[in-house]
Structure 1
Amino acid sequence: MRIIKSLALLSAAVLSTSAHAIRWFEVEIIAFKQAPSYSIKEDFSIEPEALTERNRLNLLLEGFNHTGYELCLQGRARFQDRSFIRTLTQGKSSPWCEPSRDYVSLFDTLPLSPSVEPQEHMDSIYLLDKSQLQFQDKLAQLQRKDLQPLLHTGWRFPEQSKRRAPNVVIVAGEQYKQPASITAAINREPLGSLVSPYISEETRAAAEFELQGLIKIHVRHYLYVTTDLDLKYEDEGKLRTARMSQYTRVYSGDIHYLDHPKIGVIFQIRKYKH
C-alpha cells in the first residue's frame, strides 16, 4: 500500500512539474493598410478560396463584444437597448445592457483595439487589454507615414504543437452588411463560421469585415506563425479581396514585419514569465 501511495504521489509531482514547465508567450500585432501604389502588378480580381481551417478561437470577436458592452454601460445610446417591445413585455423603460447581447453588429467600424479586463495568469489563452500593449511608438510611426492601422491587439498563449495550436480569428476595420451599395463576393464561406455565440443569426449570414482571417502560432523548437488575412476593398463598385498568406519562423523578442501590396503586419512574440 505504501508503494502504491508513493507511486501516486510521484506521478502527481511529475504531472505538476510538466504542467508548470510549459512555456507561455504573448504576441502583439499591428495590421495596417498599405498606401495605394499604381505600380502593383498583382491581379486581385479573382476571389481566393474560403479559409477552411478548423480549431478556431474567437478571442477578438469576444473582445469587441465586451467593448460594446462597456460602451453600453457608459451610456452610449447606440449600444443600449430601448426596445418598445421589451418595455411592454418586461416593464422596463431604462436602457438595457446585457453582456450576452450582440454588440459587434452595432459597430460600423470596429475599434482599433478591443477593451477587455486585464488578466495575468497561465490557465487558458486570453486577449490582452489595450493597456497591456507596447507598440504605441509603432502606431505613431505608421500615422506619421499616413498609413492606416486597422488592428492593434495581442494575446497570451502556451507553447503548443502545430496540430493543437488554435487558429485565432482576426476581424478588424469597417463592417460590411447586406444589403450594401457594393457587391459582396458570392459563394464564399459566411462569416458565421468564424463568429462567437454572441453574434446574431442575421449578422452571421451577412457580415463581412474589412480585415478578417486567421493567425496560428505554434512551437517546434522555434516559434512559427501562419498568417492568412483577407483585406476587402472597393474596386469599380465591387468588393474585392486581397489575401496575405505567409508562414514564418521567428525568434521571441524580435520585431517582425510581414509585407504585402495591400496589407502590412508588424508583430512581436515575447516570453511571458519564463
Structure 2
Amino acid sequence: MKQFVLKAILLSTLGTSAMPAFAVRWFEVELIAFSQKAGTDIREDFSIETDPIPQEKRLDLLTNGFKNVGHQACLAGDSKYDPRSVMDQFTMQQSSWYCDDDVNYVEKYEKLPVIPFSEPLEHMQSMYLLAPEQLRFESIRKKLERQGKNPILHTGWRFPDQSKKRAPNVVVYGGMKFEQPVSYKYIENEPSDSFVSLLSTAPKQAIKTQGEDLWELDGTIKIHIRHYLYVTSNFDYRYLTEEGELESARMSQFTRVYSGDIHYLDHPKMGIIFQIRKYKH
C-alpha cells in the first residue's frame, strides 16, 4: 500500500512538471481612449511639469498595427500612402506603385487610425494585438461619438497571467501628431593650427535639431495578476491651448479590477473605457 501511494505521488509530480506552456491562464483586454469635450468649468492647472513616463520593459504592439492600416490603404490605391518620391509622383502620374511591407507608414500620418489592424490570431504563445473583428466595443465607441466625445484609440491585446515583475508596460499611443519645437545645440568648430586661432576662442556652430514626433495620447498600461487583476496606467494627453502652445496633462492610476467588468478611467481632458476578459479558461 505504501509503495502504491509513493508511485501515485511520483506520477502526479511528473504530470504537473510536464504540463504544456499554454496551461498558463490567458486574458484579453479591450480599451477605448477618447478626449473629453472642452469645458469652461475645468479649473485644474495642467501646466505643471511632470516626470517622464518610465521607459523600462516597454512592449510596443501598436506600431505594426498602424503600419498595417497604411499598407492596406497603399494597396487600395490611396494616394496619401504613395511611397514614391514627389518627383516620381509628378513624372509618373499614371504608373502604379509598389507597396513595401517595410515602409514606415506611421511617418505619413498626421492623425493615427482609431483602430490598428492585425490578422486574427488564436494562439497562446506570445502577447499579440486583437484584430478589428475580435473587438466588442463598437457600440460603445459609436455612443461616445454621439455624445460629442472624440475616440482616439480602440484596440486590445491578449496576454498571459504574469506577475508584477514580469509584466511589460504595453505602449499605448494615438491621435493627432504634434511636432516638437525646433531646438539648437552648439558644437565647437574643428580646431585650427593657425597662430590666430591659438590666441582666440573658436566660435561655436549652431546645429538645428528636431525631436521625435509627439502624439496626442502617449503612455503605457501594465496588467499584472496577484489573486486579482491590477492595472497600472500612465498617460500624457497633449493639446494646444488657445494661444497655440502645446501642453500636456498627465493621468496616472493604479486600479484593482475584475475580469468581465467594464471599467472607466476618468480625467478632465480624456477618458479610457476598458474590459479584461478571460481567454479560453
Give the TM-score normalised by the residue count of structure 1: 0.81
Amino acid at match of 1:137: S
Q: More displaced, 204-213 or 32-41?
A: 204-213
1:18 positional shift: 5.8
Corresponding residue to 2:237 among 208, 231, 251: 231
Corresponding residue to 1:97 among 96, 99, 102: 99
Corresponding residue to 2:113 among 106, 111, 116: 111
Spell out, residue by residue over 1:35-66, the C-alpha distance to the aligned partner (whole angstroms, 9 max, x if none). Answer: 11222221111232211231111101121011
1:73 positional shift: 1.4
1:21 positional shift: 2.5
SS at structure 2 position matched to 1:115: coil
Structure 1: stretches of 5+ with no match in the other structure: 1-8, 88-92, 187-203
Corresponding residue to 2:258 among 230, 251, 264: 251
Corresponding residue of 1:266: 273
Corresponding residue of 1:65: 67
Residues in 1 aligned to 2:159 and 2:229: alpha-carbon distance in whole angstroms: 12
Give the TM-score normalised by the residue count of structure 2: 0.79
Number of aligned residues: 241
SS at structure 1 position matched to 2:19: helix
Residues in 2 aligned to 1:205 and 1:118: alpha-carbon distance in whole angstroms: 35
Residues in 1 aligned to 2:87 and 2:125: alpha-carbon distance in whole angstroms: 42
Spell out, residue by residue over 1:161-218, the C-alpha distance to the aligned partner (whole angstroms, 9 max, x if none). Answer: 111111111111011235xxxx5899xxxxxxxxxxxxxxxxx932110111101111
Corresponding residue of 1:140: 142
Corresponding residue of 1:76: 78
2:211 maps to 1:205: yes
Structure 2: stretches of 5+ with no match in the other structure: 1-10, 90-94, 185-209
2:181 maps to 1:163: no
Corresponding residue to 1:222 among 228, 232, 253: 228
Q: Aligned in 2, Cα 1:207/1:21: closer, same or farther, shift over 3 Å?
A: same
Q: What is the RMSD of the two structures over their aligned residues, measured on CA atoms?
A: 2.5
Q: Aligned in 2, Cα 1:229/1:73: closer, same or farther, shift over 3 Å?
A: same
Amino acid at match of 2:178: Y
Corresponding residue of 2:155: 153
Residues in 2 aligned to 1:243 and 1:185: alpha-carbon distance in whole angstroms: 24
Amino acid at match of 2:279: Y
Amino acid at match of 1:261: P
